[in-house]
Amino acid sequence: MTATTTGPAFTVGSEIGVLELEPISRTTLALFAGASNDHNPIHIDLDVARSAGLDDVFAHGMLSMAYLARAVQEWIGPRTIRSLGVRFVAITPVHGAPMFRGVVTDVSQDTGTELATIEVTTTLADGTVTLRGSAVVETEERA
């Protein structure tokens, strides 16, 4: 028997998806500050960034994680995310254009439910890795 569904391939080693984004604008940072309740001025106020010795503002880590979560859900379709975690490896400067790439690294069973682990790496155009993430998802579609 072979499955004929054309859903994502939950086999170890398969690339499950890629999401490429436009450069992150200052407008996006301002809107995300309001939308996400994170009002830390280091992300939106050049004066504050400079007072901390930085050249410019940089993106909220949680903006990249929100994109990453969006990417995972787009890749897996109507399936459940059990857990999601990231390490923020490097900051994302304003105008950075993150790319998210997901690879299945493990498939396991949890009391009759098949789970897949998707490792997500986020990189900028110059190759800088900004996030390393991991999502555990159910491979069966939601009922």
Partner 1 sequence: MTDLELPGFTTSADRSQLRLFATVIGETSPVHTDVEAARAAGYRDLLLPPTFLFTLELMRPDPAAVLRHLGIDQREVLHGEQHFTYHSPAVAGDELTFEMKVVDYYERKGGALRFVVRRTEVTRGGERVATLQNTLVARRLELS
Please, what's the b/e burial string for 67-87 (b: 16 or more CB within 10 A of its CB; e: otherwise)?
A: bbbebbbebbeebeeeebebe
Question: Which residue number, 11 or 20, has a Cβ lying nearer to partner 1?
Answer: 20
Number of residues binding to partner 1, judged by CB under 8 A: 40
> What residues between 105 and 124 interact with partner 1 by CB under 8 A?
none
Which residue number, 10 or 67, has a Cβ lying nearer to partner 1? 67
Continuous H helices in the chain: 26-36, 46-51, 61-76
Task: State whether residue 105 is helix, strand or coil.
Answer: strand
- 63 binding partner 1? (CB under 8 A): yes
Chain positions 71 to 90 lying near partner 1, rule: CB under 8 A, are 72-74, 78, 80-88
Site string for partner 1, 14-53 (x = CB under 8 A): -------x------x--xx-xxxxx-xxx-----x--xxx
Partners of 58 in the β-ladder: 93
> Does 137 interact with partner 1 (rule: CB under 8 A)?
no
Nearest approach, Cβ of residue 2 and partner 1 (Å): 29
Strand, helix or coil for residue 128:
coil
Q: What residues form DSSP beta bridges with 67?
A: none
Backbone angles phi, psi at 42, to 5 degrees: -60, -20
Cα–Cα dist 130/32, whole Å: 18
Residue 11 or 23 having the CB closest to partner 1 = 23
**102, two tokens:** 């997901």
Positions touching partner 1 (CB under 8 A) are 21, 28, 31-32, 34-38, 40-42, 48, 51-53, 60-63, 65-67, 69-70, 72-74, 78, 80-88, 91, 142
